[in-house]
Structure 1
Amino acid sequence: MKHVKLATDVDLTELASRTPGFAGADLANVVNEATLHAAELNKAAVEMADFDEAIDRAMAGMERKSRVMNEQEKITIAYHEAGHALVAQSRAHCDPVKKVSIIPRGVAALGYTQQVPTEDRYVLRESELLDRLDACLGGRVAEEIVFNDISTGAANDLDQASALARHMIMRCGMSPQLGLATFRDDAARAGYLRFAAPQERYSESTARTIDEEVRRLLDEAHARVERTLHEKRALLDRIASLLLEREVLDHATLQQLIDETETDASSVTAKSAPPAAMRLA
């Protein structure tokens, strides 16, 4: 970093908060990418926007503007990402949303919702994991509510949600049915030994209970998310609409939308409330 000319708007503390878990080589790559991006635009110094793009490239891949989506796909992705962002911002224990985008990046991502932790965490409570599970399902449930249909866009989200739920049940003892016992997940551990015979350490009955408990966690999360998005449907529409207009929303814009919508809803509620005397009657 000392050999790079930085613009005055570069905030190193902000950069550190945006790169949790990055190793030294990862950070060096971000600096190099930011420098190259600034050079491509003939800038005299590397600005915060260059680092922003470099971090996006490191986390989600290069922009693929050549990947042209049709109008229905863009609307679907906008509501999908709006669902993720709204659920994450509605949960007390979710990392705050830093950016929401419907610009295709990398090999397969047609959009993404970027969450950044406010601090390093080494132990997570069950309530925090449940909130993360909700955020994973936000996109899928938004599609169900808005279009009364589903798409392939949630495949990776469902992989993550299923893996998280299974980890909670099998490794963390977070199932009232299974108690404090933990179980190996041979499918996840097999890796290059995928052709080796599984070495199960539990009965078929227990395996069935594990599957049922994983399904229960996912079903309960789905119900919570569905309730949230039905209650905040107007806000979901506003976020998706602005995404279609701008393609990228930062944290400040997203939070402003949420605050304005909640203020409007409070005003409507106050105006529609009956006078005190009428309520008492």
Structure 2
Amino acid sequence: MGGLVGGHDEREQTLNQLLVELDGFDPSVGVVLLAATNRPEILDPALLRAGRFDRQVLVDRPDRSGRRAILRVHAAKVRLAPDWDLDQVAAITVGFAGADLANLVNEAALVATRRRADAVTLADFTIAIERIVAGIEKKHGLLGEDEKRLVAYHELGHALTALALPSTDRVQKVSIVPHGIGALGYTLQRPSEDRHLQRRTELIDRLTVLLGGRAAEELVFGEPSTGAADDLARATGMARDMVLRFGMDEGLGPVAYADAPASPLVGLPAMSTLSERASPATAERIDAAVQALLGHARQRATEILRDNREMLDRTAAALMAQETLDEEALLALTAGLRAAGRPAAIRQVA
């Protein structure tokens, strides 16, 4: 109702009537009007002018202390085992919103109920986090040997590149058991601390990890599969953000080319779409910059995996035999992994 509109008479009339009602309040009555939205970037500016909704309060995802407080409230509703550690659960749920934490407690209780336990343990919470992040494990529709081998190398392409790049999130588990909808395997990475900013080198490392699965397929099998579709979409979106929003291409310089409604709370575009003000020549340079970032990340991932090829083969054999490797097993199998250095200069293809 209060969104940016054009050509919709009913919406405009409703918005105008809302503005009339807001302006019609008697200031001496002491009425305080509150409103909430998950999409502040699409609100009509008229709603945010002085005397209307002129004070915005950002309710962001909770930090570690906030997650601890929220978990304490919801965990009081279930019986907890002696090994329950509030601080540890708060530490491994970086990025969870309040609703996510409430759902986590319910999922952990369900896990405990399925195994007919009297109390919810820390392990139940760990399993619940995996179910929320990766989806429910499928008991049927297991992979054939050829696809299992392909998925194993793909997931380990992500895992080994992440382990070789110290700025990336911890790898907590690698699995080739199908989960959720369409996920034939997954590499579970979780941040160890709350982060609000990321440097250019860190984003390049994340791009490298995203393309590690495809790089492993090309290195081992000589060609890619369709399994990297989601990785490519995420990597392309990240590369476009780096060029369009964050001005991280050295050739284009510190210029923001994104043209999207900015959020009145955080001041960032809602999505990275190319501004109509950019000339065709600039658009071509932007495409070239995005392609250069992705090409560099792919090449870097390939080099990491090629340098650790023997370890990749050995770890893939273990993953195919066990189907799931936790962090401890993965670190034991990859002891001696050759770490990657800082990213080299990125050159655009003319």
TM-score interval (norm. to shorter): 0.7 to 0.9
- C-alpha distance after superposition, 1:128-156 (max 9, x if no partner): 11111111011100011111121100000
Within a 5 Å distance, the mapping from 1:1-281 to structure 2 comes to 1-184=75-258, 200-259=276-335, 261-262=336-337
- C-alpha distance after superposition, 1:90-140 (max 9, x if no partner): 002101111111111111111111111121111111111111111101110
Paired residues, number? 256
Q: Distance in 2 between matches of 1:60 and 1:201?
A: 40
1:80–1:142: 8 Å Cα contact kept in structure 2? yes
Query: Which of the two has higher C-alpha Rg?
Result: 2
- 1 or 2, which has the higher helix percentage? 1
User: Aligned with 1:131: secondary structure?
Assistant: helix
Identity of aligned residues (%): 47
What 5-or-longer segments of structure 2 have no aligned partner? Answer: 1-74, 261-268, 339-350
2:164–2:337: 8 Å Cα contact kept in structure 1? no
Q: TM-score with structure 1 length normalisation? A: 0.86
Q: Distance in 1 between matches of 2:145 and 2:228?
A: 18
Q: What's the offset of the Cα at 1:88?
A: 0.3
1:184–1:201: 8 Å Cα contact kept in structure 2? no
User: Aligned with 1:108: secondary structure?
Assistant: coil
What 5-or-longer segments of structure 1 have no aligned partner? Answer: 264-281
Two-structure CA RMSD over aligned residues (Å): 2.0
> Alpha carbons of 1:199 and 1:182: their partners in 2 closer, same or farther (altered >3 Å)?
closer
User: Aligned with 1:133: secondary structure?
Assistant: helix
Where relative contact order (Cα < 8 A, 6+ residues apart) is larger, the structure is 1
2:259–2:275: 8 Å Cα contact kept in structure 1? no
Instruction: Supply the AA of the counterpart residue of 2:332.
Output: Q
- C-alpha distance after superposition, 1:134-182 (max 9, x if no partner): 1101110001111112110000001111111111011111112111111
